[in-house]
Amino acid sequence: MVNNTQKKFKELSRGEIAIDEVSVSGDNFRKQFNEDALKELADNIAKVGVLEPIILRQNRQYKILVAGERRLRAAQMAGLATIPYRLLDLTEEQAREVMVLENLHRADLNPIEEATAFKDLLESGGYTAEDVANRVDKSKAYVYRAIRLLDLPQEAQDALEKGEITTGHARHLLRIPHEEIKGLLKDIKRRQMTPNALKEQIRWQFGMDLERVGWKLDIEYAGKTACSKCPYNTANQQSLFDEALEAGKCTNKACYEEKRTQFETDVIEQVKEKAKKLGMGFLEPKYRYDYDDDFEELDEEEQAKYADEIKKHPAKFALTVPVGETEEVMFCIDEKLCKKINEEKYGSYEEPEEEPEDDSEESIARKRERDIAEKTSQMFAEKLMPDVLKKELTEEAFADDFINLSEWQCKLLAKAFCIKELTLKEILTLPSEKVILLLTLLTKVSKWEFENDLAEYIGHEVTDEEYEQIREQAVAEVDKESK
């Protein structure tokens, strides 16, 4: 087989040609030219002239530029009237081939231009991946990885061409669906994320575990491609990188959620059918820890204990599947039986009566100490908040639920984040990075150690002197408010 990378084309003529006689077609894949480098070349040409001829082809009466547009532009900048040329006997397809090969020798090709050149050569039918790799002294894997960059959405390709992201960023972006890339592009630019930081962001934000799912990975499910064959399965993304990725993760969040929702629906239908056959009821799916007090959840041991009761009176029991889970749970729904089970489990319990506050000096002193402790915590937390807001985000920065904070703690966080109150509706008006930071705080602080957890979160070591100073201010505030 002839090695097409060494193929020669017939030369029709050579010499000098007037620059204004050269026609430049608009199909050159190379669109960007570094202005500083072009000026430097123009200055050099002004001194020594153009040393390497441009390549032309004949098209009727026109002489079309095939290779050497950078030299032509620099010669124009240098004020030259003519430029050396070689006129080759080329078809349009052959001209494209020469143009691509010529450009591949340039050091300043951007990744998209290089990828386009590789793709053109392979699609011409005259070159194998090995031919192209040899031409640029790279591996076949390098060529294939480069061409994959053309699968990016246009805005990501534009960012890569402009140098706003690197090929490292781009390859990680190829791991997620197009509709998710736009948001991450903004994050990369705004937060100046490194490729490794982007890798961690994708792992945290999109890395759903496939090892624990209930559906089969090797067959189509919910009208979607089998996970084992999907390009968004990290097990199938190794070719994008030299280093290994964490296998068994799905980076297509939307598809994963559709399959998960479908699987939950299927499980619920199965449990409904089972409950019907057993003569039990079916409780509509609810959060595991949000059931009515009248319902008593039964574990396997308790189900065995009450097996006779379940068999004799199935209507006293019900099956359900908690939201977000795919396992069956049995409940006792009979009020009297629930009470009996509860007493057997926990014993009888009566809520103790609260002792009313009195006007004694001892009671007043206790209340004052409580107020001082709360005021100290509040003032301490307010002092820490500016540093908390500067804290860099991490992959652990997201929470599923809000925790129960006191009124002043909620007000402090709302004030710090410039929202009216600490509600989900208000939180969702914040920029995404602020939402993540706020939810980070809500997972890392507790109701009782709020200020200490904030200090730990930002790495602030609290000294006895600092705490006593804040407490003295708190005492003064409390005494002032009580007058």
Which residues are annotated as catalytic?
69
Are 132 and 121 in contact by the 8 Å Cβ rule? The answer is yes
58 φ, ψ (degrees, to nearest 5): -95, 135
Total residue count of the chain as it appears in this document: 483
CB of 252 closer than 8 Å to CB of 246: no
Residue that the structure tokens 């003529």 belong to: 13
Find, among 30, 42, 175, the residue nearest to 105 by Cα: 30
The span from the CA of 194 to the CA of 162, in Å, is 17
Q: Which residue type is seen at 125?
A: G
Give the residue from 78, 72, 75 showing the smallest Cα distance to 99: 72
Helix (H, G, I), strand (E, B) or coil at 332: strand
How far apart CA 267 and CA 269 sit, in angstroms, is 5
With residues binned 3-state (H G I as helix, E B as strand, rest as coil), the percentages for the chain, rounded to 5, are 55, 10, 35
**Of 60, 52, 62, 51, which Cα lies nearest the Cα of 25?**
62
Helix (H) / strand (E) containing 102: helix 92-104
Return the residue matching tokens 């067959």. 219
Helix 432-444 / helix 178-191 crossing angle, nearest 10 deg:
80
The beta-strand segments (E) located in 109-214 are: 208-209
Residue 243: Cβ-neighbour burial (10 angstroms; 0-12, 13-18, 19+): exposed
Q: Using DSSP, state whether 58 is helix, strand or coil.
A: strand
DSSP secondary structure string for all residues of 273-319: HHHHHHT-EEPPP--TT---TT-EEE-HHHHHHTHHHHHH-GGGEEE
d(CA 471, CA 474): 5
Residue 34: CA count within 13 A, CB half-sphere: 11
HSE value, Cβ hemisphere, 13 Å, CA-based, for 222: 18
